[in-house]
Amino acid sequence: MRYLPLTSDDRAAMLNRIGARDMDALFRDVPKAAVVSRSMFDLPDTQGEIEVERHMSRLAAKTTAAGSLPFFCGAGAYRHHVPASVDHLIQRSEFLTSYTPYQPEIAQGTLQYLFEFQTQVALLTGMEVANASLYDGSTATAEAVLMAQRVTRRPKAILSGGLHPHYAETVETVAALSGEVVRAPVTPGAAEDIAAMIDDKTACVVVQSPDVFGLIRNLKPIAEAAHAKGALLIAVVTEIVSLGLIEPPGAQGADIVAAEGQSIGNAINFGGPYVGLFATREKFLRQMPGRLTGETVDAEGKRGYVLTLSTREQHIRREKATSNICTNSGLCCLAFTIHLSLLGEEGFGRLARTNHAKASALADKLAAVKGVSLATQSFFNEFTIKLPKPAVEVVDALVDKGVIAGVPVSRLLPHDPNVRDLLIVAATETNSDEDCAAFAKALAEVL
Amino acid sequence: MTMNNQGRPTAPGTIEANELPTISGDRGLMHEEPLIFELGRPGMTGVDLPEVQMSEARLGGMRRKGPVGLPGLSEPEVVRHYVRLSQTNYSIDAGLYPLGSCTMKHNPRLNEKMARLPGFADAHPLAPQKTVQGAMEAIAQLMNWLTTLTGMPAVAMSPKAGAHGELCGLLAIRAAIEARGENRKRILVPESAHGTNPATAAFAGFTVDEVPAKGDGHVDADALEAKLGLDVAAIMLTNPNTCGLFEKRIIEIAEHVHRAGAYFYCDGANFNAIAGRVRPGDLGIDAMHINLHKTFSTPHGGGGPGAGPVVLSEALAPFAPLPLLVHDSKGFRLIEDRADLPEGANPFGRMCAFHGQMGMFTRALAYMLSHGADGIRQASEDAVLSANYILASLKDVMSAPFGDGPCMHEALFDDSFLEGTGVTTLDFAKAMIDEGYHPMTMYFPLVVHGAMLIEPTESESRESVDRFIHVLRTMAEEAKAGKTERFGGAPRLAPRRRLDETAAARKPILRWKPKDLPQAAE
């Protein structure tokens, strides 16, 4: 087996030094009833690289890769171009094969990029502090709600109807254990009156902008209403590139920002791994979940970085920790940080403008198809269209024409009879003008 | 001084390199790298995108008013910056990484290549299901490996790391108890447990009751039995445990737990010691997470991402979270909603958006296919063999709190061999850095004073382990002989000396700010 350096001679000599007769002697504490032999596993034996590569490639070939045809799915995962240098750099051994930087003297590389990552996330979201990542946007949102419950000592979380339904379900799963989660009605393409739902038991309101239908929300009045009643505003962003063009949640009064960072540096990966961004106000620092990297000096006075404020964390505080999270999204943070550094102020703004221009042009093209209307009037790179028949059927028919048209709202909200004819469409810099024209043409053909 | 025939000195000379300051501040291959925000110039970018004509009409009046504040750098500058940063990191590719409980084994690059195949990496989680059959089939194959190796009937794939898997398991237990109409709020956790165990139990709304360890490193099974009662929901037990020992009485413990109407959660962080030799399902376990980033070698990546699928017993399987992956005559299908559930399924909820860490699944599947069931068994055996070899080779100079072994995949020492030397576990571990090694896990498990937990994994050759043993033996002998100069203040040869963690926590600086802005941190 190519990954195992010990020879049978080595094994014999090592057993001899140990004073064990055979391998079974080392496993003598295992109860007899639990010992199994190789023949009890109906699984294949060792294979070489060629065989494994053949097996995996055959599986991969049974999926239509997004890049192989006009492709317009978003709804929480966005296909962007990742520069080649990003994937090269994150595969450097020193980044890829190192552990959590608990020994800072020999982990400054990881610690410094995490410090850069925290700074970038704080800048993008317009917040004061950010952590060194959580698993993804949905779990970051759930953590934000739990943090709001701790900060306000109130039980209730109000979730906007525009919050991605998977996020809402993730929040419900953990936040309903010790509190109460209320979901506002779904109003595709329009803002609900969420301020009216806030009462003196409300810990937080959770509003996504752009929302799951693509609509850009004005968070400021919601923040004001929440603060007037002693509640926090949690702003959720699933398309972080949008913050290159629209006002960041921090500038609109958000108290916590929970976001998905996948769009920058990371592939869509059939849903993971992604990178959860989490930012808040300085005054809530000690209630934050997750790792934090801080600046300090070493014994010679040189600037350096360490993991800090770990008295919030599970390995120190155990059952009193702010979260149980340990492993986070380290390498995905690195991809995010490198890609954003490559873009810089100029490139990031241009990327955002390109996305909006592409989506606007596509929206015009699709709305010109007979029977199609635009349900989202203000949006970033994703919008919802209303079709004359169920979106699932239309998407299915378009697959046969070589176009992946988007995400039917009924995929996310199967119970809601009012959304069956709605389709969420995303366009990014990866979509060519030809892709968009092909989509409009095929859509006209199937309707 | 030896000279070559051109008169050029080939011996290093007598100048102490460490004492000679350099003009640049860099030292040879060791660079002092500024923050990315301290580099670059306005207007520069490392990505060429054409400028576009864009109307503001559809932004709803919400256009960003100010700049983000990002620096501008070209591609070569960004590449150099991150390459230089990388050079200050230790890694498993560069050396033995003996972190007990963390399992730093070789990360095959084939797995990286496979995870990047477009049919996996460029598959959208909400693409029409008939277009992503291969991605779902890969998940189904991994599920088959996991259930077969563990002897468990079901597995929930969506948890994103070990602690998330623990949460998934406890929420399934909570749902099962509620379905029985009972109210059990207490969870028994050994004091030797990973910190995530009590943290997860509290996170899932339970109270934590600690079970002591016995003098031999095993959980006190009698104390555990005595604590069982009608309010106990579950025990969380790591096996092999954090002292590197197989819990001998585990089947008996499982029987007691089940008799008391509670469930048995096993922390599977150490599954790599027994994979292919022991099936957790045969031990009476109800739920166990598997850290794909430990046992199945998906890279740790400086702290993540991981993946923590949870295998479940018949009793807990109905409560597995959404989504569920099923296979029928039409192919593979994801069930993402309660409206669509198969007979008997009663999911407790959803762990996260989408379907889990696909990029980790494909790496783990490639690892399993490469090893095969025989290779996985051999890997477990080699990991255990190397740990025992280290224990046997060092127990006379260091102190092994639990006797002669055998241990499982990690060798545990305490600090009694350092008593009276003035050298602490921390000093000893930091001095390893100067010898070119990453320190072992220190001060964990908490039940052992000054613990040093060494996990060599199966990836090390005998020569590599012998060299490691020689270094540790010599260090231990020196410490005991009063030759302690290499310990105090170590490391001396790393990119940084010991860092001031107290100052970092007292006055937190958690982000870069431009010079003209004050650090607002308290």
Domain-by-domain residue ranges, chain B?
Answer: 111-366, 374-494
Terminal Cα distance for chain B, rounded: 57
The answer to whether A287 contacts chain B (CB < 8 Å) is: no
- Look up tokens 């937080």; give the residue: A204
- Residue B517: pLDDT band with limits 50, 70, 90: low
Closest CA to A97 of B77, B363, B379, B92: B92
Tokens standing for residue B103: 């399992």
- The answer to whether residues A303 and A292 touch, using CB atoms and an 8 Å cutoff, is no
Dihedral class, residue B156 (left if φ above 0, else alpha if ψ from -120 to 50, else beta):
beta
Q: How far is B382 from chain A (nearest CA, A)?
A: 7
Angle between helices B358-394 and B462-480 (to 10 degrees): 50
- Please give the domain boundaries of chain A with CATH numbers for all domains: 69-82+345-446 (3.90.1150.10), 84-338 (3.40.640.10)
- Residue B1: pLDDT band with limits 50, 70, 90: very low
The answer to whether B492 contacts chain A (CB < 8 Å) is: no
ipTM of the complex: 0.98
**Under an 8 A CB cutoff, do B36 and A97 touch?**
no
**Under an 8 A CB cutoff, do A63 and B386 touch?**
no
The answer to whether B95 contacts chain A (CB < 8 Å) is: no
Is the pTM for the entire model greater than 0.80?
Answer: yes
Set of chain A residues whose Cβ sits within 8 Å of the Cβ of B160: 135-136, 139, 272-273
> Which residue among A26, A73, A89 sits closest to B384, beta carbon to beta carbon?
A26
Q: What is the average pLDDT across B110-134?
A: 98
Report whether pLDDT(B243) > 60.
yes
How far apart CA A352 and CA A122 sit, in angstroms, is: 18
pLDDT digits (tens, 9 = 90+) for A297-323: 999 999 999 999 988 888 888 888 889
pLDDT digits (tens, 9 = 90+) for A114-139: 999 999 999 999 999 999 999 999 99
Set of chain B residues whose Cβ sits within 8 Å of the Cβ of A277: none
In this prediction, residue B522 carries a pLDDT of 37
The answer to whether A2 contacts chain B (CB < 8 Å) is: yes
How far apart CA B448 and CA B243 sit, in angstroms, is: 8
Set of chain B residues whose Cβ sits within 8 Å of the Cβ of A108: 85, 88-89, 495-496
How far apart CA B129 and CA B133 sit, in angstroms, is: 7
Closest CA to A268 of A103, A380, A426, A101: A426
Tokens standing for residue B498: 């010991």
- The answer to whether residues A269 and B359 touch, using CB atoms and an 8 Å cutoff, is yes
How far apart CA A40 and CA A27 sit, in angstroms, is: 18
Report whether pLDDT(A205) > 70.
yes
**Under an 8 A CB cutoff, do B349 and A173 touch?**
yes
Report whether pLDDT(A59) > 90.
yes
Q: How far is A198 from chain B (nearest CA, A)?
A: 24
Tokens standing for residue B25: 């501040």
pLDDT digits (tens, 9 = 90+) for A226-247: 999 999 999 999 999 999 999 9
Set of chain A residues whose Cβ sits within 8 Å of the Cβ of B202: 319-321, 324
For chain B, percent of residues with pLDDT exceeding 70:
95
The answer to whether A25 contacts chain B (CB < 8 Å) is: yes
- Look up tokens 């390995």; give the residue: A315
> Which residue among A92, A96, A318 sits closest to B107, beta carbon to beta carbon?
A96
**Under an 8 A CB cutoff, do A268 and B171 touch?**
no
Q: How far is B14 from chain A (nearest CA, A)?
A: 24
10 Å CB burial of residue A8 (0-12, 13-18, 19+) is exposed
In this prediction, residue B520 carries a pLDDT of 45
**Under an 8 A CB cutoff, do A6 and B61 touch?**
no
Residues written for chain A: 447
The answer to whether B519 contacts chain A (CB < 8 Å) is: no
The answer to whether A397 contacts chain B (CB < 8 Å) is: no
Set of chain A residues whose Cβ sits within 8 Å of the Cβ of B305: 135, 272-273, 275, 327-332
Q: What is the average pLDDT across B286-290?
A: 98
Set of chain B residues whose Cβ sits within 8 Å of the Cβ of A239: none
- Residue B20: pLDDT band with limits 50, 70, 90: confident
**Under an 8 A CB cutoff, do B499 and A285 touch?**
no
How far apart CA B164 and CA B157 sit, in angstroms, is: 11
In this prediction, residue B3 carries a pLDDT of 45
> Which residue among B167, B369, B459 sits closest to A52, beta carbon to beta carbon?
B369
Question: Residue B55's closest chain A neighbor by CA?
Answer: A357
Those of residues 194-213 in B touching chain A at CB distance below 8 A are 194-196, 198-205, 208
pLDDT digits (tens, 9 = 90+) for B135-192: 999 999 999 999 999 999 999 999 999 999 999 999 999 999 999 999 999 999 999 8
Beta-sheet strand order (sheet of A256-260): A129-130, A276-280, A256-260, A232-237, A202-208, A156-159, A180-183
The answer to whether B21 contacts chain A (CB < 8 Å) is: no
Q: What is the average pLDDT across A170-183?
A: 94
Report whether pLDDT(A414) > 50.
yes
User: Higher confidence at residue B98 or residue B520?
Assistant: B98
Helix (H) or strand (E) holding A146: helix A137-152
Q: How far is B510 from chain A (nearest CA, A)?
A: 5
Q: What is the average pLDDT across A410-414?
A: 96
Backbone angles phi, psi at B216, to 5 degrees: -95, 10
Report whether pLDDT(B2) > 50.
no
The answer to whether A290 contacts chain B (CB < 8 Å) is: no
Set of chain B residues whose Cβ sits within 8 Å of the Cβ of A262: none
- The answer to whether residues A135 and A266 touch, using CB atoms and an 8 Å cutoff, is no
Set of chain A residues whose Cβ sits within 8 Å of the Cβ of B291: 327
Report whether pLDDT(B4) > 70.
no
**Under an 8 A CB cutoff, do B124 and A71 touch?**
yes
User: Strands (DSSP E) along A147-275, which ranges?
Assistant: 156-159, 180-183, 202-208, 232-237, 256-260
Dihedral angle over CA of B405, B406, B411, B414, nearest 10? -10
Helix (H) or strand (E) holding A130: strand A129-130
Report whether pLDDT(B515) > 90.
no
The answer to whether B226 contacts chain A (CB < 8 Å) is: no
**Under an 8 A CB cutoff, do B282 and A100 touch?**
no
How far apart CA B309 and CA B322 sit, in angstroms, is: 13
**Does the domain made of B111-366 have the CATH classification 3.40.640.10?**
yes
The answer to whether A396 contacts chain B (CB < 8 Å) is: yes
In this prediction, residue A34 carries a pLDDT of 87
Number of neighbouring beta carbons within 10 Å of residue B350: 25
**Under an 8 A CB cutoff, do A170 and B81 touch?**
no
The answer to whether A78 contacts chain B (CB < 8 Å) is: no
Please name the residues in contact with B487: beta carbons below 8 A apart, sequence gap of 6 or more.
B423, B427, B428, B430, B431, B479
pLDDT digits (tens, 9 = 90+) for B387-438: 999 999 999 999 999 988 899 999 999 999 999 999 999 999 999 999 999 9
How far apart CA A76 and CA B248 sit, in angstroms, is: 47
- Look up tokens 């109906």; give the residue: A42
pLDDT digits (tens, 9 = 90+) for B253-264: 999 999 999 999
Q: How far is B227 from chain A (nearest CA, A)?
A: 19
Average pLDDT, chain A: 97
- Look up tokens 């525009």; give the residue: A162
DSSP labels, B383-443: HHHHHHHHHHHHTTTSB-TTTT---SS-EEEBSGGGTTTT--HHHHHHHHHHTT-PPPEES
- The answer to whether residues A328 and A337 touch, using CB atoms and an 8 Å cutoff, is no
Set of chain B residues whose Cβ sits within 8 Å of the Cβ of A132: 303
Question: Residue B350's closest chain A neighbor by CA?
Answer: A170
The answer to whether A330 contacts chain B (CB < 8 Å) is: yes
Q: What is the average pLDDT across A71-99?
A: 98
Those of residues 383-402 in B touching chain A at CB distance below 8 A are 384-386, 388-389, 391-393
pLDDT digits (tens, 9 = 90+) for B490-502: 999 999 999 999 9
Q: What is the average pLDDT across B215-240?
A: 95
The answer to whether A422 contacts chain B (CB < 8 Å) is: no
Dihedral angle over CA of B154, B159, B161, B163, nearest 10? -90
DSSP labels, B449-488: TT-EEE---TTS-HHHHHHHHHHHHHHHHHHHTT--TTTT
The CATH homologous superfamily of the domain defined by B374-494? Aspartate Aminotransferase, domain 1 (3.90.1150.10)
Average pLDDT, chain B: 94
Set of chain B residues whose Cβ sits within 8 Å of the Cβ of A41: 148-149, 276, 373
Longest dimension (CA), chain B: 90
Tokens standing for residue A328: 């986070």
> Which residue among B205, B303, B389 sits closest to A18, beta carbon to beta carbon?
B389
Q: What is the average pLDDT across A1-11?
A: 97
Q: How far is A365 from chain B (nearest CA, A)?
A: 15
Dihedral angle over CA of B61, B66, B70, B76, nearest 10? 80
Q: How far is B268 from chain A (nearest CA, A)?
A: 15
